[in-house]
Amino acid sequence: MSRGREMLLTLALSGGFLGFVEADAYRQDLGMLAIAYALLALGMYLPLALCGSLSLAYNAYFAIGAYAVAIIAQQAPALLPLAVPLAIAISMATAALLGLVTRKLSGFHLAVATMMFGIAVHTWLQNTDSITGGATGIGDIPRPMIFGWALDRGALIGLGVALIWLIATAIARLRVSLIGVAMRAQRESEIAAAASGVPTAALRILALAVGAGIATLAGVLLAFMNRFVLPDSFAIKVVFLVLFMPVLGGLSTPWGAVLGALIVVAFTLGFDFFQGPGSLTFGLLTLAVLLLAPAGLLGGFARLRRRERSA
């Protein structure tokens, strides 16, 4: 598919999604959860699919976005507009630092260090009552104002969909650019990339930082949507749910991560039938996809189209 057609098709699908979820309050809640997961999955996709860097601290970046909004709304409401850039900066700096200290070690160490950090952040949220409100979290978050206009739930969902389209499109374009080529090349042959002058460690840290920044937006949107934050929304189990989204959808395009997020929300919460055994269904579904289409759903779809055309 050409780049232009992909942009139009995904724009149309995003519009369709928006029309579907805006229908009632329940769908809006599910829609916002799907948006948050899709942003987390996109944030994970960038370092994982392009650089081969597996970070597991995404629940922490998710929490930083949500709690920055909640804490600032509670402690210094006048500074609320600064919450978003501040949260993104903190997440990016944290991701860069975690990447920096593990840069000389193998990818395994990055996964372990980031997972420990994610667990630590969740524990801290639960136990630091004076700042985070402990297990009961923080409530009464006001609606965000943009140019004197309060964003309602529908507008927040529209903003989330727009952000996803912009970020997925940007990552797809980045992927084929020279820096995307360098990222993917160092993933497969660090020797070749280094011999070509690519500062491989710095490139991986950049991808990790930008990915963390994207995941932070998920927390910001969710906090404004729900108007409260609870620590258990940011447990490490979120990361393992999100980890399979790009894999399920397909790693060859960032839209695979978005598709994976939609499937997860639909299967675990969306259909009554799946609500009970949702996680189990999802686990089995992921295994089935990995067996039948190792390149993920979109990858398998692209292969079928190629086969049809050549037949």
Partner 1 sequence: MTALRCSGIRKAYGGVGVLHGVGFTVAAGEILGLCGANGAGKTTLIDIIGGQQSHDAGTIELDGTALTGDAARRSRAGLARSFQRPQVAADLSLRENIALGLAGASIGSVAQMLRGFVRGIVTGACAGLDQVEAAARHLSLDRLDRRAGDVTFGELRLVELARALVQRPRLIMLDEPFSGVGDSGIAGIIEALRRIRAQGCAVLLIDHNVDLLTKLVDRMALLAQGEIVIEGAVETCLADDVFRRTYIGAV
Site residues for partner 1 per CB under 8 A: 3, 170, 172-174, 176-182, 184-185, 187-189, 191-200, 202-203, 206, 210
DSSP state string for 26-94: HHHHHHHHHHHHHHHHHHHHIIIIII------HHHHHHHHHHHHHHHHHH-GGGGGGHHHHHHHHHHHH
What is the nearest approach in angstroms of partner 1 to the Cβ of residue 203? 7
In Å, the largest CA–CA distance within the chain is: 66
- Residue closer to partner 1 by CB (options 206, 289) is 206
* Least gap, CB of 51 to partner 1 (angstroms): 12
Residue whose CB is less far from partner 1, 173 or 303? 173
For residues 45, 47, 50, 53, the Cα torsion angle rounded to the nearest 10 degrees is: -120
Pick 91 or 186: Cβ nearer partner 1: 186
Helix (H, G, I), strand (E, B) or coil at 145: strand
Query: Are 62 and 238 contacting, i.e. CB atoms less than 8 angstroms apart?
Result: yes
Ramachandran angles phi, psi of 241, nearest 5°? -65, -45
Structure tokens at 17: 């999604």
Closest contact distance (angstroms) between CB of 305 and partner 1 is 17
Check if the beta carbon of residue 204 is closer than 8 Å to that of residue 98: no
Ranges of H-type helices in the chain: 3-21, 25-45, 58-75, 83-101, 107-127, 129-132, 153-176, 178-188, 190-195, 200-226, 237-249, 255-265, 272-275, 278-292, 296-310
Q: Which residues of 120-144 are buried (b: 16+ CB within 10 A; e: fewer)?
A: ebbeebbeeeeebbeeebbeebeeb
Least distance from partner 1 to the Cβ atom of residue 171, Å: 8
CB of 160 to partner 1, least distance (A): 20
Least CB distance from residue 41 to partner 1, whole Å? 19
Q: Which two tokens stand for residue 309?
A: 């055309």
Would you say 250 and 299 are in contact if contact means Cβ atoms under 8 Å apart? yes
Shortest distance, CB of residue 309 to partner 1, whole angstroms?
15
Choice between 122 and 187, CB closer to partner 1: 187
Q: Smallest distance from the beta carbon of 306 to partner 1, in angstroms?
A: 13
Give the other-Cβ count within 10 Å of 83's Cβ: 23
